[in-house]
Structures are given as C-alpha cells and as structure tokens.
Amino acid sequence: MLDKLKNIEDRYEEINYKLAEPDITTKQREYRMLMKEYADLTELVNQIGEYRRTLSELADVEAMLEEISDDADMEQMLRDEYSELKSRIPDMEENIRILMTPKDPADDKNVIVEIKGGVGGEEAALFVGDLFRMYSKYAESKGWNISVSDSSETELGGFKSVEFTVEGHGAYSRFKYEGGGHRVQRVPETESQGRIHTSAVTVSVTPEMDDFEFEMNMNDLKIDTYRSGGAGGQHVNKTDSAIRITHIPSGLVVTCQDERSQLKNKERAIKIMRSKLYSIELEERENKLKSDKKSQVGSGDRNSRIRTYNFPQGRVTDHRIGLTLYKLTTFLNGDMDEMVNALTTADRADKLGSGENADD
C-alpha cells in the first residue's frame, strides 16, 4: 500500500511543478485539467501525510518501549500512547482506500435532467410535474439553480416531458442515481371509485460538459429557429426565439425555448447537445451494450423501475438497494438526502468490494 501512496504523492508533486511553469496559463485545456486533478488529489495527499506521521510516531514509541527497562510509569504511558496511535491506523487506512476509489470525473459538474411520462397517460404527466418539483426543491436546499430548457405541458397541469439543468458544484454526484424508471401508485383525483392506479415516468441524467472537455464538430449540426410555445404571453407568439438543434450523424435532437433570447437558447442547446454526445461517446468507448441514457430511460413501462412511490402507504422504495422510507410527503418536498446518501454508500461499497483503486 505504501508504494501506491508514494506514486500518488509523486503525481501530486508533478502536477504542482507543472502548475508553476510560467506559460501554463496559456494552455487553457491542460491548465484546467491539471487544476482539477490537483484539487481531486489534495484531500487524499493530506490524508496520506497524516497516515505517514502516525506510522512514524508509532515506530518512535515502539523503539522507546524497547529501550525502557526500569521505569514502570513511563513504560505504561508509552504503552497507552502506542495503543492509541495503533487504534487510529485502521480508520486512516479505510479513509485512504475510500479516497483512492476512482471518482467519477463528472461528479462536480452541473447536471442535465430529463423527465418523461410513460405508462399512465395524464396521471403519468402529473407525476412528471411532481418529480420536477421534488428535484427543484432538492436543488434549492443545496443552493443550486434550476434552468428549464424545454417542457411540454398538459391541460391538467402536468408535463409530457420536462428538461432542465441543475447548476451547482457537485450537482451530478447527487442526481446521477435518479436515472431510470420511477413508478407511482396512488388514487388519481379523477378516479371516482377510489381505485389505486399505477403509472410510470422515466428520468435521464447527463453531466454537463464544457467545450474544452469535448470537441463537437459544428458542421454536424442543423440549427433551426421557431416560435416558443407554452406560457409567456404574447411575447413568445411574436418572436422566433426557440432553438432546435439536430445532430445530423446520429439524429439526436435538442430543443431549448425557455429563454426569450434566441442567442441564450442557442448557447444552452449547444451545451446540452455537447453533453449528450459526450455521454454517448463515453458509453461506446466503455463497450456497454446500451448507453446510460437508453438503459435509464428504457421503455417507460411500469415494470422497468428503480423506485416506487406508494401514496396509500406513504412510502418510497428504492429497489436497487432495498431501502424503504416511510416519509413520502417530505421526500417529494425535496428531503432526498437520506436516500441519496444510502445510494452513494452502496455505490462506494460496490467499488471497494470489486477491488477498484487508483492504480487500476
């Protein structure tokens, strides 16, 4: 383990040296990547330093114990110190192993979330709205901003679909477990006989990518303007501010109509397109059978689910980790941390259990 830690420390010093080069700021792409890696390694290197100091103190105390022969009080004091130092080692090693677990490079990024209604018609559309409000309140509790890029409302106040960006440091790390099928079981307001209906919506989650991280050929894009729909009064009916971008090679389409400025809509649509193309390329590079977007979204069928929201029982159950919380109302009001923390812990345990580390 100490050899691996030495390699990490050496890399940290190498990055520090490169960042001190006079012309590094002129190489924007390299500079940003080095700064990110430096920040990611800082906590780990600090933990390694503390671990080495503790090992050194332990060795010193052990050497002193070997030399003492006629001072019982001093010997007992040293033995107590030795036991206390030795007791720290397992926790330190566990913390280092956790920090050495490969971190998702997208964790610190903004996140693009898309919610679509599946099985259930209008009831599914209403639940799309419920999830959108839940995510909005959760983001608000973290001090993050929500920007809607596209939405399609229904007559009863639901959404056929809604796409939005959560802007804030670490947003993707908290939202990335939301991708998949979400099932709701409740009595619709339109149900006169009190029967429980089951509906499904799907959530897709994509980290937002900057232009320096993924180069997109602008010649592959077809950009169209059109008049925004939905709320907004007379303004949206008079201005061709909405943007539709089609990636010609793949057929992927992104629309953005939230901003009144055509330029802002175009900038946001390009960023969303870049992020989605990056995710697809990454998935193909990792030789997955299905892209994360497809596997997350699935068919929208009620049986393709990661989570169930049961209103009669007041519970929310995540089927991936078998966790049930009997606090549905507060959960839908954005109190999601207990669930997200449990998913994060389970994911970390899986990675540690599979033997992944910084050198793999």
Q: pLDDT category, 352, cuts 50, 70, 90?
A: low
Tell me the average pLDDT across 280-294: 55
Of the listed ranges 112-126, 226-240, 302-316, the least confidently predicted one is 226-240
Residue 39 near residue 19 (C-beta atoms within 8 A)? no
Considering 36-45, 64-73, 125-134, 253-262, the range whose residues carry the highest mean pLDDT is: 125-134
Its CATH class, for the domain covering 104-335, is alpha beta
Q: Please state, in angstroms and as integers, the Cα–Cα distance from residue 61 to each residue in 84, 220, 282, following that order.
A: 11, 67, 51
CA distance 317 to 235: 43
Residue 314 has pLDDT above 70, yes or no: yes
- Give the domain ranges of the chain: 2-100, 104-335
Residue 86 near residue 58 (C-beta atoms within 8 A)? yes
Residue 214 has what pLDDT? 67
Nearest CA-CA partner of 336 in 167, 176, 104, 197: 176
Residue 133 has pLDDT above 50, yes or no: yes
Residue 291 has what pLDDT? 44
Residue 285 has what pLDDT? 59
Tell me the average pLDDT across 345-349: 83
Residue 213 has pLDDT above 50, yes or no: yes
Residue 358 has what pLDDT? 44
Tell me the average pLDDT across 38-45: 88
Q: pLDDT category, 223, cuts 50, 70, 90?
A: confident
pLDDT above 90 covers what percent of the chain? 40
Q: Please state, in angstroms and as integers, the Cα–Cα distance from residue 295 to each residue in 99, 290, 305, following that order.
A: 28, 6, 11
Residue 35 has pLDDT above 70, yes or no: yes
Q: Which residue has the higher pLDDT, 102 or 233?
A: 102
Q: pLDDT category, 359, cuts 50, 70, 90?
A: very low
Q: Please state, in angstroms and as integers, the Cα–Cα distance from residue 253 to each residue in 152, 164, 171, 276, 279, following that order.
A: 15, 15, 24, 10, 15
Residue 305 has pLDDT above 60, yes or no: yes
Tell me the average pLDDT across 56-63: 93
